């Protein structure tokens, strides 16, 4: 009997030792897991675009970089097409602000529902090329976006190209300002886009991106404007005949974090996430720039009539909105203009 009790006690001791050896490392109050140097955490990331669009591709690359760097200690779960918000981008933005989601990638025009000052970079013909856009945003534009978003409980940690926005429609080629009159054009909803198209007598229609293809297919709207990368991956070429390349506005997407969540992370985790966000964003920028000419050629091969406006053809469009540009610069103020290199007289 005594021998049996000794054996039972010995077995129990062995089991407790094995259990101790197999348990997870003790967590520090900050959430760091043992010697990993990073928080052990799973973060949800909301993205507006479909599975194949540039914002989702950048988010997935960011996920790969983070999980490789942390050896799985930090996990990023990417949800494209605003799945977490039922396809509603405005609700998705509310969710990153209130902490229902941890991370997100949204275009500044979509984010402008929070504060119209976020539209400063989308004022027509703000940038002449991608290099200019990169340098301006990296020099002060991103910091400005962050200062505005902090008021909404959101931290901006990176920026990548959505692209210079081009126009497609199903009615006719657009080569002169009067060609826009009467066209129903889907826009993200920002006041810059709405007022831009109204200046030409067009009928801008604010609509969630998830609804656009069906609306084009059914003729609810005549056209849409977007970067060529998103235009390509969305299948718009199937329901649109005409494309105008005019680089009328530049759009960038921001990598975002809920500020409460962000500030709760360890310093090492925040530094790592920022580093990987910048790396992923620069990769995304390179992708958009490298793909543009190839995608335009592919549109033509698929039967789309592509018109690339010359500087002489662009001049009348720019003249129509010259006063509108100035109004927006004055409305958004000196701080916004300084951040984007605009000098007000």
Q: CATH code at 312?
A: 3.40.190.170
pTM: 0.86
Total domain count, the chain: 1
Write out the residue range of the structural domain in which residue 157 sits.
30-339
Q: Is residue 179 part of a domain?
A: yes
Q: Is residue 284 part of a domain?
A: yes
Q: What percent of the chain has pLDDT over 90?
A: 84
Q: Is residue 146 part of a domain?
A: yes
Using alpha carbons, select from 233, 225, 240 the residue that is nearest to residue 304: 240
By the 10 Å C-beta count (0-12 exposed, 13-18 middle, 19+ buried), 85 is classed as buried
Say which residues have a Cβ less than 8 Å from residue 152's Cβ, sequence separation at least 6: 97, 114, 115
Residue 36 confidence (pLDDT): 65
Is pLDDT at 3 greater than 70 in this prediction? no
Residue 188 confidence (pLDDT): 87
Using alpha carbons, select from 164, 82, 152 the residue that is nearest to residue 117: 152
Q: Is residue 236 part of a domain?
A: yes
Residue 205 confidence (pLDDT): 97
Q: What is the C-alpha separation between 160 and 107, in angstroms, rounded?
A: 9
Q: Is residue 20 part of a domain?
A: no
Q: Is residue 22 part of a domain?
A: no
Length of the chain: 345
Residues 85-102: what's their mean pLDDT? 95
* Phi, psi angles (nearest 5°) of residue 327: -60, -40
Using alpha carbons, select from 261, 258, 251 the residue that is nearest to residue 162: 251
Q: Is residue 24 part of a domain?
A: no
Residues 276-296: what's their mean pLDDT? 96
Residues 323-336: what's their mean pLDDT? 97
Residue 189 confidence (pLDDT): 82
Q: Is residue 300 part of a domain?
A: yes
Residue 33 confidence (pLDDT): 53
């Amino acid at each position: 009997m005594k021998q049996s009790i000794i054996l039972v006690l010995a077995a129990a001791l062995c089991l407790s030792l094995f259990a101790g050896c197999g348990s997870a490392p003790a967590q520090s109050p900050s959430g760091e897991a043992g010697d990993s140097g990073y928080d052990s955490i799973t973060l949800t990331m909301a993205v507006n675009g479909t599975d194949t669009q540039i914002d989702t591709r950048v988010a997935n690359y960011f996920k790969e970089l983070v999980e490789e760097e942390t050896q799985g200690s930090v996990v990023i779960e990417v949800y494209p097409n605003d799945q977490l918000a039922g396809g509603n981008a405005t609700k998705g933005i509310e969710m990153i602000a209130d902490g229902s989601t941890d991370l997100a990638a949204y275009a500044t025009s979509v984010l402008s529902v929070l504060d119209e000052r976020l539209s400063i970079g989308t004022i027509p013909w703000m940038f002449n090329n991608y290099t200019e856009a990169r340098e301006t945003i990296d020099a002060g534009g991103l910091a400005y976006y962050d200062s505005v978003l902090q008021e909404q409980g959101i931290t901006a940690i990176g920026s990548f190209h959505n692209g210079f926005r081009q126009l497609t429609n199903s009615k006719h080629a657009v080569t002169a300002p009067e060609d826009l009159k009467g066209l129903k054009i889907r826009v993200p909803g920002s006041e810059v886009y709405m007022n831009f198209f109204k200046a030409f007598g067009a009928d801008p229609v604010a609509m969630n991106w998830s609804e656009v293809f069906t609306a084009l297919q059914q003729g609810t709207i005549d056209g849409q404007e977007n970067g060529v990368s998103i235009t390509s991956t969305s299948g718009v070429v199937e329901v649109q005949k005409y494309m105008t390349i005019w680089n009328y506005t530049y759009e960038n997407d921001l990598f975002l974090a809920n500020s409460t969540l962000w500030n709760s992370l360890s310093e090492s985790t925040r530094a790592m996430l920022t580093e990987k966000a910048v790396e992923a964003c620069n990769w995304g920028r390179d992708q958009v720039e490298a793909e543009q000419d190839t995608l335009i050629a592919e549109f033509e091969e698929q039967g789309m009539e592509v018109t690339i406006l010359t500087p002489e053809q662009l001049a009348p469009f720019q003249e129509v909105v010259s006063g509108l540009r100035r109004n927006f610069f004055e409305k958004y103020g000196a701080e916004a203009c300084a951040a984007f290199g605009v000098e007000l007289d």
